[in-house]
Structures are given as structure tokens and as C-alpha cells.
């Protein structure tokens, strides 16, 4: 079946109203949960083959994360679907007003390879919860996970509700030609611009979850031992292939040496003498990405630096004495390489970061609340995590998304439901007590009508 036929089938199904009821949405989310749970062991194997993920990392960042999001949605869905009543001004009385959360229609969900399961399932939960149909495109860089996703989706949904497609370059153009009602894309800023251009042709609303160079600032008041562990963990989860990973560290010069020693100690504590044999350390997704990362291995390497192209393995690497003009600072690293920069005055850091594209995440390690406030006031970002890394992404109560070149829109929890919903305003008037102030001839009221509208409106 071609892309046009798939799109037409989903459009007809959506227009039938079959996706709209609470019972239908809940039933499909429950089927999705069961299908995931049934294949949990297979998913561990697929994620290991695609990215070398260990069981614990696969569960916490992919499978458990997604199951938790389904449970959160099932607990709150009925409340999210209820129309929100609004108060009308006196001029419009008697009457009722409300805001209804309406599904857009046929949605497109495009996911990357770094979290190939979670970044398909998480937005899909929002699409289904909001009453949409969805065409899902996973990454071809994670084929084993994509194959399992197809099985899971086919078990949980009929193809006219949710359908997984795997087009390559030529087929992708055909996919983007379809007049989708909503697009959700996770990936690079470069491809995000292409998606934006395609969406603009049909004035299609969208969410873009992109990336960028997320900075990590460590001042001289921070607990360096704790900060080092939290930075190393956040950076090297999934071998650094995380859109919100700390991309570089800017540390006060007075504490840089101590922070580096604590970071080296944390690497050893987490992954041992031979990280290559650690069951908790992932692999680079492909040899092409390995080649890109190897080119960045230059400068003052103070930890790691080893790699194996054949095994798609790269050591956890710290590079010291990096300056702002280094090639390491030109684009998102997206791998297990962490540049270390130093500063003397916070004002200099803020000026440098303020001149860079807005990042997806901003990390600050400090004991001073005035530093926290000053950095947040001066440096825009998608999200902020203070004295830890990555944790702001997980809670369903916190919207997750970017700003500027790191994306637009947000999701997770209710934010996912909202992302895939149009906020439709509704005003209901009874036939009784018809207000003649609305009708001409207006000259009979002269200035009185203008005054009454201002007073009662």
C-alpha cells in the first residue's frame, strides 16, 4: 500500500469518529501496554543489538519509561478529555462557554535512533490519548527495534488507526507530501528545518524535538564529588547519544582540577577498568557515527580516548583545556566525548552562552540561589536541571521540549495530550432572553452601546 493509500485510509477512519470515545482510546492504550509487556525480553535483545544497551539502561530509559507514561495517561485521561468550563462576561449571559480538546486528525510521528523505542511510543501515547490516528516512521539505523515496534503496533492497533512505515529517502519525500493534520518530529536541527518546510506547505501544526549543545556550568560552591557523578552519569548514558546530555562543562578555574579528578573517579566507579566489557555501557549506533566522533578526538585528552571501529566502542573521554573556538564547540557532539572549559567570571560565561543557539537543556551546579536565578534569567533553554542532569525529562508533570534551534512545542504526560489536541472554544446560547443590543439599527443607541459593551464585555 502506497503512502497516499495509507493516509487516505487513516483519514477516512478518523472521520468516522472511531477514535473519539474515551473507551476506544483507553482500550487501545491498554492493548499497547500489553503488547509491550509481552515483548519485553525481545526488546532488551533488540536494543542490545542496535545500541549495545544493557538491561537496566534499556528498562529505565526506554521500556519502563514508556510503560510508566502509559499508566500515567490511563490514570488521567478521563479528566484531560473533559471540556473546561469558562465564565462568560455579563453581556453574553445567559450562556455557557467551554474549551474542548479536539484531536487534529491524521498525525505523523518521526523518531530517531538513539532511543528508538521510547521516542516512538511516548509521542504515540499522546496521539492516541488525544484521539488521533498516526503514521509512525522509526529510524532505519535501529532495525531490530523497528521490527519489534511493527509487531507491537500491529497487535495493538488496526492499520487505519496506527501504521508503521519504513521509507528510505525516496519514500520519505512521498510521506512528507501528504497533507497531515499534525507532525511530531524528533531528531536533528538540520532535518527539523526540512520537516518545517514540508509542514508549511499545508500549514500543518507541529512539534519539533531537536537538540543542540546543552551546557553544564559548575561554580566553585558545588559539591564536586556529587556533581562529578551526576555529570558523568548524564553524559555517558547511552554512550552520550542523548539529546539532553551535557554537551560541555564550563567549570570555575579554582575547582576545575578537583572536578576532573572526581570525574575520573566516577568513570572508574561506574564502568570499571575496562568499560568495553561493562554491561552498563552502550555502543555507538553505526560506523558512520564512529568516524564522525573519531575526528573529534584531539586536544588535551585526560581520560579515555580509545576506540574500536569494528565493535562500535569508544571510551568515556574527557578533553581538558578546550576553548570556545574549538571544533568540539561547533556542533552537538552526540557521543561519549566531554569537553571541559574553565572560567573566572560568570559574566563571561553568560555572554558566551548568550551568543550561542538556544539549547535543549541547561545544567547548573551551585549552592547559590542567586546564581541559579541569574543563569536562568540570562540563558534561555528548553528545560533546566539544577544540581543534577537529565532528571527533568522524566516526570509526567513536567512538559519537555525545546526552544529556538532546539525545537518548538513540548510533550510528556498531559503536555503530550495537549500537543496532539486543538483547543476548541465553544459558546452556547439559549433561545430565551435574546439580547437586542447585538442587532442594528445601532444609531438608536448612539454612544450608550459603546459604553455598555466596555462595561459588560
Cα 294 to Cα 306: distance, rounded to the nearest angstrom: 9
Q: Is the peptide bond before 82 cis (omega within 30 degrees of 0)?
A: no
Catalytic one among 62, 69, 209, 315?
209
Q: Which residues of 97-136 are buried (b: 16+ CB within 10 A; e: fewer)?
A: beeebebbbbbbbbbbbbbbbbbbbbbbbbbbbbbbbbbb
User: SS3 for the chain, per residue?
Assistant: CCHHHHHHHHHHHHHCCCCCCHHHHHHHHHHHHHHHHHCHHHHHHHHHHHHCCCHHHHHHHHHHHHHHHHHHHHHHHHHHHCCEEECCCHHHCCCEEEEEEEECCEEEEECCCCCCCHHHHHHHHHHHHCCCEEEEECCCCCHHHHHHHHHHHHHHCCCCCEEECCCCHHHHHHHHHCCCCEEEEECCHHHHHHHHHHHHHCCCCEEEECCCCCEEEECCCCCHHHHHHHHHHHHHHHHHCCCCCCCEEEEECCCHHHHHHHHHHHHHHHHCCCHHHCCCCCCCCCHHHHHHHHCCCCCEEEECCCEECCCCEECCEEEECCCCCCHHHCCCCCCCEEEEEEECCHHHHHHHHHCCCCCCEEEEECCCHHHHHHHHHHCCCCEEEECCCCHHHCCCCCCEECCHHHEECEECCHHHHHHCEEEEEEEECCCCCCCHHHCCCHHHCCHHHHHHHHHHC
Catalytic one among 163, 216, 243, 385?
243
Q: Is the peptide bond before 94 cis (omega within 30 degrees of 0)?
A: yes
8 A C-beta contact, residue 313 and residue 276? yes
Half-sphere exposure of 403 (CA within 13 A, CB side): 13
Query: Is 243 part of the annotated catalytic residue set?
Result: yes
**Residues with a known catalytic role:** 209, 243
Amino acid at each position: 500500500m502506497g503512502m497516499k493509500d495509507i493516509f487516505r485510509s487513516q483519514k477516512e477512519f478518523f472521520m468516522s469518529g472511531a477514535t473519539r470515545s474515551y473507551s476506544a482510546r483507553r482500550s487501545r492504550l491498554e492493548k499497547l501496554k500489553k503488547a509491550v509487556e509481552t515483548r519485553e525480553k525481545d526488546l532488551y535483545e533488540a536494543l542490545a543489538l542496535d545500541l549495545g544497551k544493557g538491561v537496566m539502561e534499556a528498562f529505565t530509559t526506554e521500556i519502563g519509561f514508556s510503560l510508566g507514561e502509559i499508566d500515567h495517561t490511563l490514570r488521567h485521561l478521563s479528566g484531560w478529555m473533559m471540556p473546561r468550563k469558562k465564565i462568560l462576561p455579563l453581556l453574553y449571559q445567559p450562556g455557557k462557554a467551554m474549551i474542548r480538546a479536539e484531536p487534529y486528525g491524521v498525525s505523523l510521528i518521526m523518531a530517531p535512533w538513539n532511543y528508538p523505542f521510547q521516542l516512538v511510543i511516548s509521542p504515540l501515547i499522546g496521539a492516541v490519548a488525544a484521539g488521533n490516528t498516526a503514521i509512525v516512521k522509526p529510524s532505519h539505523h535501529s532495525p531490530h527495534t523497528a521490527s519489534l515496534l511493527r509487531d507491537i503496533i500491529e497487535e495493538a492497533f488496526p492499520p487505519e488507526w496506527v501504521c508503521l512505515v519504513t521509507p528510505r529517502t525516496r519514500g520519505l519525500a512521498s510521506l512528507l507530501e501528504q497533507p497531515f493534520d499534525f507532525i511530531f518530529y524528533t531528531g536533528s536541527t538540520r532535518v527539523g528545518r526540512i520537516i518545517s518546510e514540508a509542514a508549511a506547505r499545508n500549514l500543518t501544526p507541529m512539534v519539533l524535538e531537536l537538540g543542540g549543545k546543552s551546557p553544564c556550568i559548575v561554580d566553585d560552591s558545588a559539591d564536586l564529588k556529587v556533581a562529578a557523578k551526576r555529570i558523568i552519569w548524564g553524559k555517558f548514558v547511552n554512550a552520550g547519544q542523548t539529546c539532553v546530555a551535557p554537551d560541555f562543562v564550563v567549570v570555575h578555574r579554582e575547582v576545575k582540577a578537583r572536578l576532573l579528578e572526581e570525574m575520573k573517579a566516577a568513570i572508574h566507579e561506574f564502568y570499571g577498568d575496562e568499560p568495553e566489557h561493562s554491561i552498563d555501557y552502550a555502543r555507538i549506533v553505526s560506523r558512520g557515527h564512529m568516524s564522525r566522533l573519531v575526528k573529534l578526538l584531539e586536544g588535551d585528552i585526560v581520560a579515555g580516548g580509545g576506540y574500536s571501529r569494528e565493535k562500535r566502542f569508544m571510551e568515556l573521554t574527557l578533553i581538558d583545556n578546550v576553548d570556545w573556538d574549538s571544533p568540539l564547540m561547533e556542533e552537538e557532539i552526540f557521543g561519549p566525548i566531554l569537553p571541559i572549559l574553565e572560567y573566572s567570571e560568570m559574566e563571561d560565561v553568560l555572554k558566551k552562552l548568550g551568543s550561542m543557539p538556544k539549547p535543549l537543556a541547561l545544567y547548573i551546579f551551585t549552592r547559590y540561589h542567586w546564581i541559579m536565578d541569574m543563569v536562568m534569567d540570562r540563558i534561555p533553554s528548553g528545560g533546566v536541571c539544577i544540581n543534577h542532569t537529565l532528571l527533568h525529562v522524566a516526570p509526567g508533570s513536567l512538559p519537555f521540549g525545546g526552544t529556538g534551534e532546539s525545537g518548538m512545542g513540548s510533550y510528556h504526560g498531559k503536555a503530550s495530550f495537549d500537543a496532539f489536541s486543538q483547543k476548541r472554544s465553544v459558546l452556547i446560547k439559549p433561545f430565551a432572553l435574546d439580547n437586542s443590543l447585538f442587532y442594528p439599527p445601532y444609531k438608536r443607541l448612539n454612544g450608550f452601546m459603546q459604553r455598555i459593551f466596555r462595561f459588560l464585555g
